[in-house]
Amino acid sequence: MKQIGLAFRTWALDNDDHFPMRVSVTNGGTLELVASGAVFPHFQIMSNELSTPRILLCPNDKNRGYATNFTSDLTDKKLSYFLNTDSIEAVGSCLLSGDRNITNRTTVGSRLVNITKASTIAWTKEIHSEAGNLLFGDGSVAAFSNQGTGAVIRLPDGVTNRLAVP
């Protein structure tokens, strides 16, 4: 996940300090693709920053296989990580990504999970046995478990973050 965080930050440095999902497709980003809920295009656009698509699969994610290339083989079924499509590069403490086996559910009619102020994220047993990792906008990664309260995400009032979960 640290490598993914570095890739996002490097991409942002080359794109006026914006992550791909905040830049229009006409300018090389993925902004218009956010509403689809698909995750892979946001990683695919950063193929120059990521050395291999294997980075996008957690070694503990035994239910998925890795992609062999960024073009024809990368799909949501070959990703281990969700993406916060509303993440802002300038806010280092914002949630950027995390293990896909979160227990939070999408709203009816959407492929995106809405996370708001003081939301809690918990994980299934699928990847890290009721635990997970979160990647933040500054590139830091933290491990959380369902023990206790899970991961409480601190967001400003009135902010909704949409997680695209593969």
Q: What is the pLDDT along the chain (166 residues), one digit of tens a residue?
A: 999 999 999 999 999 999 999 999 999 999 999 999 999 999 999 999 999 999 999 999 999 999 999 999 999 999 999 999 998 887 767 889 999 998 887 776 678 888 877 677 888 999 998 899 999 888 999 888 887 655 656 565 566 788 999 9
Quick check: 24 and 10 in contact, CB under 8 A? no
Report d(CA 94, CA 47) in Å as an integer.
23
Domain count, the chain: 1
Distances (CA, A) of 137 to 64, 83, 84, 130, 146: 26, 11, 10, 23, 23
> What residue type is assigned to position 11 of the chain?
W
The pLDDT, as a whole number, for residue 116 is 77
Question: What is the three-class DSSP state of 33?
Answer: helix
The pLDDT, as a whole number, for residue 108 is 66
First to last CA, the chain: 16
**Containing domain of residue 110, as a range?**
2-164
